[in-house]
Structure 1
Amino acid sequence: MSFPNVYTHRKVAESNAKSCEICFKPSTSVLITPENKDFFYVCPSHLKDTGFCTPKIDQAAVEARRKKELEEEMERVKKEYEERQKKKKEKEKAKEKKDDKGKEKDKDSKSDDDKKEDKKEDKKESESTEEVKSPPVEEEPRVFELKSAFYQQRLSKKRQTEIAKRNRERLRDPSFFPSVPKSLP
């Protein structure tokens, strides 16, 4: 009864926490095989230990996530650019209306004021986008491969439980024991 050395990290509810297989402290992290043939509770700190297991990183998934993040960033930048262009056009239209009414001298002083306001707004927008833009949270790896010693330990434990189960079933079966002799010796 063998199973692959690929374990997926899952979390369980606090009420379902059980002792870690290594340090016996309560843990909500579970490592489970793909077909649910084997599972055991383990502390998250042990998952970071290179002597216990190594994370298996799916390069295709990492590349897809990076590509998706880049596309989202490009869309966000495009929207900001379009908004800025709309604001500039609106300001230019407003300036043209004011220019028609006002004099040339007022135009120079107002345009300087408008340029200063534009710079202030650009700074505010860039600061607000910097606040929104936070460094991406690195997700912990979800798939692990146990080191050979721990994997062999899991295999032997699984074999022992299966042997014990078979022995219990045999003992329940009445034909397992020899029958009393019916003839005289």
Structure 2
Amino acid sequence: MGLPHLALKDSEKVLQKMINEYIGRKVALKDMQPCLICGKPSTTVLYNSSGPDWFYTCDIHLKDNPQFVIPLYGKDYEDALSKLRELKSQLNNAKISQSGSWDGWVSSIFVKNKSKGKGKESESGKTSDATSADIESETHESSKDVADPMDKVKKLQTSYENQVDMVTDLQSKNKRYQLSKTTFESRVLKKKNEQIVAAKRKREQEAYTRTDPEELMHKFSFPTVPKS
């Protein structure tokens, strides 16, 4: 009777060492089984990287579902996400700067045109043409000043969009997950119960094999017909 008890203890040690980290893998269509969450057939399996536990789940349940699982991203993803936040901040600041430059440019042109307009009323012919040329020159120079912030915004927008694509790609390639505390505890309890039942069945089988054959024949023999 000592061996099954020892086996049960060994199983408990395995469960105690089981860490909350699961790896996602795909199986063939012929091997699909019901999803743990919704019961629909699935080809995605999450298996524990340190213990005897695995189950099927739909891919949709692995996304934005912290009550069930939390993705465990690597350093590459964290670095890419940090870069994305940095670009987002730079883009927002550049847009604010661009808006200020545009408003300042429009205001300056309006003031200059108004000032030049008063001068044109007192001047004639050639002087008026020269003033108009001056305004066009100043407008061209001012528009060049506005173009610089606009170019910066466009470049930052492109970099930001490329970084979003990179982060999305790294998310889709992730295969490591951590179960929520409640889910993981329920998985550990389930495995413990399964191993208790398995150990009990093993004890019964060993007890059966150690029983004397004659005792078994006597125990399970049919009653004889009484003699008349």
Taking structure 1 as the reference length, the TM-score comes to 0.53
Q: Do the aligned residues in 2 keep the contact of 1:11 with 1:29 (CA within 8 Å)? A: yes
Aligned counterparts of 2:208 and 2:32: Cα–Cα separation in 1: 42
Seen in structure 2, the aligned counterparts of structure 1 residues 149 and 28 have a Cα distance that, compared at 3 Å, is same
Q: How far does residue 35 in structure 1 lie from its aligned partner after superposition? A: 3.6
Alignment of 1:33 with 2:48, yes or no, is yes
Query: Rg larger in 1 or in 2?
Result: 2
Q: How far does residue 167 in structure 1 lie from its aligned partner after superposition? A: 0.5
Give the partner amino acid of 2:169: E
User: Partner residue of 2:26?
Assistant: 11
Q: Do the aligned residues in 1 keep the contact of 2:33 with 2:56 (CA within 8 Å)? A: yes
Give the partner amino acid of 1:33: N
Q: Do the aligned residues in 2 keep the contact of 1:170 with 1:176 (CA within 8 Å)? A: no
Q: How far does residue 50 in structure 1 lie from its aligned partner after superposition? A: 2.2
Aligned counterparts of 2:198 and 2:49: Cα–Cα separation in 1: 23
Alignment of 1:55 with 2:88, yes or no, is no
After superposing on structure 2, the runs of 4+ consecutive aligned residues of structure 1 that deviate more than 3 Å are 60-64, 175-180
Q: How far does residue 151 in structure 1 lie from its aligned partner after superposition? A: 0.3
Give the partner amino acid of 1:148: K
**Matched residue SS, 2:36:** coil
Aligned counterparts of 1:50 and 1:63: Cα–Cα separation in 2: 22
Q: Do the aligned residues in 1 keep the contact of 2:35 with 2:42 (CA within 8 Å)? A: yes
Q: Deviations over 1:48-101 (max 9, x none)?
A: 12221110111157659xxxxxxxxxxxxxxxxxxxxxxxxxxxxxxxxxxxxx
Aligned counterparts of 2:29 and 2:67: Cα–Cα separation in 1: 27
| Identity across the alignment (%) | 29
The structure whose residues are more often helix, as a share, is 2
Alignment of 1:167 with 2:182, yes or no, is no
Taking structure 2 as the reference length, the TM-score comes to 0.43
Question: Once structures 1 and 2 are overlaid, which stretch shifts more, 169-178 or 142-151?
Answer: 169-178
Q: How does 1:63-74 map to 2 (within 5 A)?
A: none
Q: Do the aligned residues in 1 keep the contact of 2:19 with 2:50 (CA within 8 Å)? A: no
User: Partner residue of 2:131?
Assistant: none
Seen in structure 2, the aligned counterparts of structure 1 residues 61 and 20 have a Cα distance that, compared at 3 Å, is same
**Matched residue SS, 2:191:** helix
Q: How does 1:1-185 map to 2 (within 5 A)?
A: 1-2=15-16, 3-35=18-50, 37-48=52-63, 49-60=65-76, 138-139=169-170, 140=172, 141-174=174-207
